[in-house]
Structure 1
Amino acid sequence: MDKIKTYLKDQEEYLLGHTCKSIDKSRLTLPGPEYLEKVFVNSDRNLQVLNSLSRLYNSGNLAGTGYLSILPVDQGIEHSAGSAFGPNPDYFDPENIVELALEAGCNGVASTFGVLGLTARKYAHKIPYIVKINHNELLTYPNKFDQVLFGTVKEAWNLGACAVGATIYFGSEESIRQLKEIAEVFVYAHELGMATILWCYMRNSAFKTKEQDFHTAADLTGQANHLGVTIQADIIKQKLPNTNGGFTALHFGKTSKEMYEDLSSPHPIDLCRFQVANCYMGKVGLINSGGASSGQSDFEEVIKTAVINKRAGGSGLICGRKAFQRPRKEGVELLHLIQAVYNNESITIA
């Protein structure tokens, strides 16, 4: 706890002492040892999906807590392999990606068909595999906001994956096609007994004005989350919100004064809680992303993100670049610090 407080610095009281007065914690379904029994036993998910979710939630250093620590490495496609692995070329080798997740005690590793397929016989039984099934490749010029399937659900099942992950770029020109496509993917994944994780990202040039970037606004990302749980994502991945009022500033969508005045506030924990609320009041777990690597400040940033997510009622962190774009030992230490936040019982729901 002392190390966590050291990284929080002058925000220790601001984050650890905050009481959420927007949406009371009593309204939420919170992570815990009985989380799966509370939510998914009553759902339409078949027994094999429950087995897959159980394996994911009962692996690694956070096993049995209801929280998740996932290593995602799909940036070789999403950003370019050179930019992703330039800081640490060891991770051009897929085996090192899986080894990092194992050594760090992650609940699972999320990566591409290529990475997980090439390592499947050696590792798929040792750590839960999450196949990222679609991507936005940046070799098309000019770049565009689109996600296309790179393989099939059956391929993911054949290589031993317990879950499939997918991205929808909500707000983009192709978002309706992506929504329909991934809804069908998730239906088939559930039929085969795999869990589903949705990257609910906002993408539209109009969402970034001269004054503000609303891609991470609580109201826009919250609605993206709500669309994600509607197509039966079992886990939602979302960027941490750092602003609000996207709908009102951009003059579109439907709003109510309550969503800004009563259900949220400018405090980062309250902004994140609005995201959790849009995940059926926490019944579907919200994992926030770790973001880009900033060097030495990475440790401070992930601790703050983990504290905000946990105290908001979220279900964990999915952190990649901050871990794999540094020496292995430091990457493991960073992931262990994230897990320490979720294992620390004195860090409570706000």
Structure 2
Amino acid sequence: MAFDKIVDLLGDAADTLLNYTSTTFDQSQLHLPGPDFVDRIFVQTNRNAQVLRNLNAIYQHGRLGGTGYLSILPVDQGIEHTAGASFAKNPLYFDPENILRLAVEGGCNAVATTFGNLAMVSRKYAHKIPFLVKLNHNELLTFPTKYDQIMFGSVREAWNLGAAAVGATIYFGSAESDRQIVEVAKAFEEAHSLGMATVLWCYTRNNAFKKDGVNYESAADITGQANHIGVTIQADIIKQKLADVNGGFSALNFSKSDPLMYSKLSTDHPIDLCRYQVANCYMGRAGLINSGGESKGALDLADSVKHAVINKRAGGTGLILGRRAFQRPFDEGVAFLHQIQDVYLAQEITIA
């Protein structure tokens, strides 16, 4: 996709997003994506040689291979949102092979999906695209509905599938978060010992985080702290919702904050909100990938391009898009992924 098309899709937001200069965290303080990212960041860590090899396999694969940016296809919605609700628009994805085909033809760095999906086709695709096995899920058959992440398989089984990485979700702020932190920390330690990289879905979930019509589950200060806990338990890559508000700690009157968080370290500009998330990923040493969100039809492309520009200019590492790709006809899903990747390939779009 040509740069002019990206500008057109940004519409009235083009100038404020493409020409903005951030004055919060200077870009010289950030560990930015680049072709040498694994060598520059991870060689000096405690990660063993097998982890480095698998991380490099992810960073070198697909259309963004060798750039330091990531495009990952996540399809765990068959569990997280029920298979019927997720695949009704495109029933071909009831067959997990089509998920793998979409990731391969879509030029993704990796595919993130369930034990069952990968197990069914692992020998055909494990050498064609890096596998990211999602270890835990929120199942939706308990009534009344509860929101908890439970383990669906073992780290050892992910390794048996040929996985390059494992992924997990923690619902930070939930009543079950303490147990999830302990479970995931142990799983990530085992994954690293077996040579697999680790990716954490750092989501915040608590109805008390919603006040006066504002949902602070996506606040920069709250999600930033979730990111900080995520890298503390040694996640190599952090997946987070794009921040669209700030001041959650002060509005809800909980946890701890400092006025400088809102006056110096961030502003209301979306790039600065995202940069605060990046800063909490050890200044970008763990790459931040923002999630795509639900499909809204015709608005998806413009919205995802906007998110990609914000993430890239903030110092992030990429987008992880699922429903917006697989809830379209197959060829359109492939084209959609390519168009978002083109934002990261566009040299005109630089760090703010």
Matched, 1:303 2:302: no
Shift of 1:42: 0.3
Give the Cα separation in 2 of the matches to 1:124 and 1:3.
35
> What residue number does 1:226 align with?
228
Give the Cα separation in 2 of the matches to 1:286 and 1:276.
6
Give the Cα separation in 2 of the matches to 1:262 and 1:347.
25
Shift of 1:210: 3.2
Give the Cα separation in 2 of the matches to 1:247 and 1:145.
22
Q: 2:32 aligns with which of 30, 33, 48?
A: 30
Give the Cα separation in 1 of the matches to 2:294 and 2:153.
26
Cα deviation, 1:272-308, whole Å, max 9, x if unaligned, reads: 0000000000111000001100000000011000000
Cα deviation, 1:193-221, whole Å, max 9, x if unaligned, reads: 00000000001011112320001000000
SS of residue matched to 2:163 = coil
Give the Cα separation in 2 of the matches to 1:164 and 1:32.
23
Cα deviation, 1:62-111, whole Å, max 9, x if unaligned, reads: 00000000000000100111111011111111000000000010000000
Cα deviation, 1:36-66, whole Å, max 9, x if unaligned, reads: 1111000000000000000000000000000
TM-score by length of 1: 0.99
Shift of 1:34: 1.0
Matched, 1:52 2:54: yes
| Counterpart mapping for 1:99-110 below 5 A | 99-110=101-112
Shift of 1:143: 1.5
| Counterpart mapping for 1:1-350 below 5 A | 1-350=3-352
Is 1:145–1:173's contact at 8 Å kept on the other side of the alignment?
Answer: no
Is 1:31–1:315's contact at 8 Å kept on the other side of the alignment?
Answer: yes
SS of residue matched to 1:331 = helix
SS of residue matched to 1:62 = coil
Cα deviation, 1:171-203, whole Å, max 9, x if unaligned, reads: 000000000000000000000000000000001
Give the Cα separation in 1 of the matches to 2:213 and 2:97.
43
Q: Once structures 1 and 2 are overlaid, which stretch shifts more, 259-268 or 208-217?
A: 208-217
Is 1:276–1:313's contact at 8 Å kept on the other side of the alignment?
Answer: yes
Give the Cα separation in 1 of the matches to 2:186 and 2:89.
37
SS of residue matched to 2:153 = coil
Give the Cα separation in 1 of the matches to 2:150 and 2:169.
9
Give the Cα separation in 2 of the matches to 1:138 and 1:210.
28
In angstroms, what is the RMSD of aligned CA positions? 0.6
Moved over 3 A (4+): none
- Residue identity matched to 2:86: A
Shift of 1:145: 2.1
Cα deviation, 1:249-268, whole Å, max 9, x if unaligned, reads: 11100000111100000000
Shift of 1:142: 1.4
Cα deviation, 1:216-246, whole Å, max 9, x if unaligned, reads: 0000000000000000000000000000011
SS of residue matched to 2:214 = coil
Is 1:63–1:107's contact at 8 Å kept on the other side of the alignment?
Answer: yes
Give the Cα separation in 2 of the matches to 1:113 and 1:18.
42
Aligned sequence identity (%): 63
Give the Cα separation in 2 of the matches to 1:199 and 1:50.
21
Shift of 1:15: 0.5
- Residue identity matched to 1:159: L
Identify unmatched segments of 5+ residues in structure 2. Answer: none
- Residue identity matched to 1:201: Y
Give the Cα separation in 1 of the matches to 2:147 and 2:209.
13
Cα deviation, 1:118-175, whole Å, max 9, x if unaligned, reads: 0100001000000000000011111222100000000000010100000000000000
Give the Cα separation in 2 of the matches to 1:183 and 1:31.
25
Give the Cα separation in 1 of the matches to 2:212 and 2:253.
15
Give the Cα separation in 1 of the matches to 2:92 and 2:106.
16
- Residue identity matched to 2:6: I
Identify unmatched segments of 5+ residues in structure 1. Answer: none
